[in-house]
């Protein structure tokens, strides 16, 4: 009886130990599985963060490069505009000086002579601002009367500052030699050439 009791106790101990060991193994396995899942999730999150960081870095890099390119374009445009303004100012000074010189009357006379040679040009009128007309009327008309038999008239207009305009065929056609028109024409002619020179200077 005593032996059976001992065997029963030993059996209970053995079963209890095995059950405890089995339970411990299950707990350890569950803990390992959970740890593996945590590690996998952590790796996935780290990869996601890394990819987002790369994308953000690429976006920032592209944005910075675009900003630099735009700043370069803006600087070039500003420089070209500055050169164009300076060119126009220089041309304007030279045109004004030419129109204020003694050669102005001779210029008008030569251009009118050129128009008078055209067979379809009639009723030629030279239009000047009031100030220039009062200064040049006598000399220009006298010179033109000597050289041209067709009627030439001088008219005043204060719609422009300097230079002159020519009207032919009773005003049906106008040719603008005002200071402003000549400056624009010369500036437009010179601007592409200046641009080419700037390209060559790179």
Name the 3-class secondary structure at 177: strand
Specify whether 124 is located in the same domain as 61.
Answer: no
DSSP 174: E
Q: In whole angstroms, give the CA distance from residue 35 to residue 11.
A: 35
Q: In whole angstroms, give the CA distance from residue 13 to residue 19.
A: 10
Query: What value does the mean pLDDT take over residues 85-100?
Result: 84
Burial class (CB within 10 angstroms; exposed 0-12, middle 13-18, buried 19+) of 88: middle
pLDDT at 8: 61
Specify whether 94 is located in the same domain as 138.
Answer: no
User: Helices in the chain by DSSP H: which ranges?
Assistant: 2-100, 103-116, 130-147, 179-200
Query: Taking all residues of the chain, what is their mean pLDDT, rounded to a whole number?
Result: 79
Query: What value does the mean pLDDT take over residues 47-76?
Result: 87
Strand 163-168 and strand 124-128: the pairing is: antiparallel
Specify whether 120 is located in the same domain as 41.
Answer: no
149 φ, ψ (degrees, to nearest 5): -85, -25
Out of 74, 100, 126, a domain closes at: 100
Q: How confident is the model at residue 188 (pLDDT cuts 50, 70, 90)?
A: confident
pLDDT at 141: 77
pLDDT at 108 > cutoff 70: yes
CA 202 from centre of chain = 19
Specify whether 109 is located in the same domain as 50.
Answer: no
Specify whether 90 is located in the same domain as 110.
Answer: no
Specify whether 150 is located in the same domain as 83.
Answer: no
The residue among 72 and 199 whose pLDDT is bigger is 72
Out of 77, 100, 123, a domain closes at: 100
pLDDT at 149: 60
Q: Are 183 and 92 in contact (CB under 8 A)?
A: yes
Q: Which two tokens stand for residue 76?
A: 């070039």
- Inter-CA distances, 24 with 11, 31, 198, Å: 19, 10, 84
Specify whether 40 is located in the same domain as 114.
Answer: no
Query: What value does the mean pLDDT take over residues 5-24?
Result: 67
Specify whether 58 is located in the same domain as 151.
Answer: no
Specify whether 91 is located in the same domain as 135.
Answer: no
Specify whether 128 is located in the same domain as 161.
Answer: yes
CATH of the domain at 180: 3.30.2320.30
Specify whether 59 is located in the same domain as 16.
Answer: yes
pLDDT at 104 > cutoff 80: yes
Q: In whole angstroms, give the CA distance from residue 159 to residue 161.
A: 7
Q: How confident is the model at residue 11 (pLDDT cuts 50, 70, 90)?
A: low
pLDDT at 1 > cutoff 60: no
The parent domain of residue 141 ranges over 103-200
Specify whether 107 is located in the same domain as 195.
Answer: yes
DSSP 102: T
Domain count, the chain: 2
- Inter-CA distances, 129 with 114, 160, 161, 179, Å: 22, 7, 6, 11
Which of 153, 97, 102 is closest to 128 using CA atoms? 153
Query: What value does the mean pLDDT take over residues 8-22?
Result: 66
């Amino acid at each position: 009886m005593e032996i059976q009791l001992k065997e029963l106790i030993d059996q209970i101990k053995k079963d209890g130990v095995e059950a405890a060991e089995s339970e411990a193994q299950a707990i350890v396995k569950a803990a390992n599985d959970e740890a593996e899942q945590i590690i996998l999730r952590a790796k996935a999150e780290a990869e996601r963060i890394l990819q987002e960081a790369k994308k953000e870095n690429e976006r920032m890099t592209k944005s910075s490069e675009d900003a630099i390119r735009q700043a370069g374009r803006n600087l070039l445009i500003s420089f070209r505009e500055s050169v164009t303004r300076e060119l126009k100012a220089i041309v304007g000074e030279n045109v004004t000086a030419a129109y204020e010189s003694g050669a102005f009357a001779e210029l008008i006379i030569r251009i009118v002579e050129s128009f008078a040679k055209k067979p379809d040009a009639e009723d030629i009128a030279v239009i000047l601002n009031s100030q220039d007309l009062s200064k040049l009327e006598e000399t220009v008309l006298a010179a033109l009367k000597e050289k041209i038999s067709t009627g030439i008239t001088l008219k005043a207009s204060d719609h422009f500052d300097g230079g002159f305009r020519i009207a032919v065929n009773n005003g049906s056609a106008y040719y603008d030699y005002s200071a402003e028109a000549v400056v624009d024409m010369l500036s437009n002619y010179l601007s592409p050439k200046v641009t080419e020179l700037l390209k060559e200077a790179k």
